Chain A
């Protein structure tokens, strides 16, 4: 298929149930179902208008905005610093990476330098966040497939250990609000590195266990292989990022491409999938966690001493010069970007979040067409959305 043909969205806007009297062909009786917004498999308040032909999906339109609080408008009304705690609430699983993306954009806008130690702390916390996110997602996804409870609880048990680390570092388990423009809020507490080292050392055991528990499971394979295939060309055209893109075989990881922070100092590989189906997405995440552990081991060994914040960064009365900047990082879910326009006042003139899971939802319909309702649930699960970020 040519790029053009794939890039076209499915043309089925006119598909309506037969009972509406508009549709006359031999498709049989179509059934329109509203899945959600209070459906446990939609990972939040999210709705899909699905038109079914028997069990098959012939049309699927995601409907969201139930959590819309106009985060961007709030950001335009608040000072640069005051937006930082709000970014925690975008993707509430990954507050550390959200903080980082925002701090990175403001640093670009204001030209601040981040001290060495702070860069290391950022890498460590971001990779721990990736572990948290992928661990939980795998739990959620197999829960969607019907493995009720057990794998999810194992995942949460491991997540707890990392959240403990976050709590003793930043004071909060999930809403960390830890990074600041030009560095981090406070230095690591004593003994934190040893604790983190212990968690990182023990994590592979859990991953091995998880792999034995799930990855060879025949039911899981039957449910997820060849389901929700996302072709490479479509993935690129639709701006899919993160593990979902790499599961389709596109080698694009912003940690490698932009080398933001100090990612060029670490050796790690970028796992790629072959088929772009749900199983690949699951597997890519599992492999990514192992790479993250590798980065963590290197970072924990080589973290230097020093200050954690740029002395030029002001906390009160922070006013960058007029201009604009777009900064992006590889968040666990994909490319998380912040686009800021400053007019020289204490508030940004424009504050835009480029949320990865919102853009990744673009292809939900393309992936679901022709599959059954039960598959829709796991395809959505494999996209890895968080509604706090989709709706903003």
Chain B
């Protein structure tokens, strides 16, 4: 497989207006990825599949990742009344949801190419283009991301919950998901669970 930098250039040449950037990966696995802007996601995916040199015809793994808001503390020098002072500034990095696609080529037998799409935030602007029209294998996996992370895939043919039941409200894989307090009595020896279970146990048979 060609290196990521040249694939990036190829995409930028092939898809007009696409913004692609490299996401480094420091682990020994050495699998850096390409961040594609959501607006051109579908076009880039189609390009990756059809381009004769790349031919990523097989989308193996599709998954979501939840990145919470982070706070970055930086020290900046500011001038107060002619005096220079160091002030700590807290920069809030907005959180976002991410869809990660692992692409391989069955024809040319190379891979993996990792592409990522990011939503604008975690709350209301959570729409991403669905890549199901390009690779059928995204159909169930995107439904799963929708179910567990709450990313809405525009253009998905059948976007319903898949693992949780239809009436379920929250998205359980998000990092700030709070599990409902509906324990049945289970006398596990562990404190927190025991405390929860005691609270739900009928008074007359309390252990």
Which A residues contact B (CB, under 8 angstroms)? 7-9, 11, 13, 64-65, 68, 70, 72-73, 108-111, 234, 236-241, 250, 252, 257, 320-328, 335, 337, 339, 341-342, 350, 352, 354, 358-359, 361-363, 391-392
Contact = CB atoms under 8 A, between A and B. Distances in A.
Contacts of A350: 63, 65
Q: Chain A contact residues: over half helix, strand or loop, or mixed? A: mixed
A326 B100 CA distance: 11
Nearest to B157: A9
B78 interface: no
B24 to A, nearest CB: 9
Nearest to A392: B163
Contact of B58 (A65, A70, A239, A324): A239
B140 A321 contact: no
Given A239-B58, A337-B102, A341-B65, A359 B140 contact: yes
Interface centre among B112, B163, B165 (most CB of A within 10 A): B163
Which of B133, B136, B137 lies at the interface centre, i.e. has the most chain A CB atoms within 10 A of its CB?
B136
Contact of B163 (A68, A327, A328, A341): A68
Interface stretch (B26-34, B86-94, B188-196): B26-34
B173 A237 contact: no
Interface centre among A73, A257, A326 (most CB of B within 10 A): A326
A9 B27 contact: no
A252 B108 CA distance: 11
The 4 closest A-B pairs by CB, nearest first: A323-B27, A239-B137, A111-B28, A325-B29
B47 interface: no
A298 to B, nearest CB: 24
Interface in B109-165: 109, 112, 114, 132-137, 139-141, 148, 157-158, 161-165
Contacts of A328: 60-61
A164 B163 CA distance: 35
B200 to A, nearest CB: 20
B95 interface: no
A7 B109 contact: no
A237 B100 CA distance: 17
A9 B102 contact: no
Contact of B27 (A7, A111, A337): A111
Contacts of A72: 148, 173
Contact of A359 (B31, B133, B137, B158): B137
Contacts of B109: 252, 257
Contacts of A363: 136
